[in-house]
Structure 1
């Protein structure tokens, strides 16, 4: 599974990093769910400052998704042309 990360500053100017964001094709059945969950997660982190500066989106999904869907999402091997 190919993952990406996201860095931004929250309301108070603290630098935040979100890691383990899965990269999915638009026609993937989990694409919309992941986009919505990511938007909710980032907006929560942006407006609620905490001591933590690095968050794992994968851990967040583990708590919020059905286990069978989570397992299916992260066990998919769709990577092409690996270097």
Structure 2
């Protein structure tokens, strides 16, 4: 998911073909696997009705380090 997000952040800035490339090379490729009946969400039991906010549970501290801070510390 992190790689999918990072590719979005990079390609969304390309005003010419960025969106198309992201949809074709990243979203389409990954969503097929993620939503597969035997994929990582196959056993999900979460459900919500249309219009309801999606369930959310905060990730554990440190799970998603801010790479911008890490890059600044390396300099």
* TM-score w.r.t. length of structure 1: 0.30
Kindly indicate which of the two structures has a greater share of residues assigned to strand.
Answer: 1
Higher helix share: 2
Structure with higher Rg: it is 2
- Higher normalized contact order (CA 8 Å, seq sep 6+, divided by chain length): 1
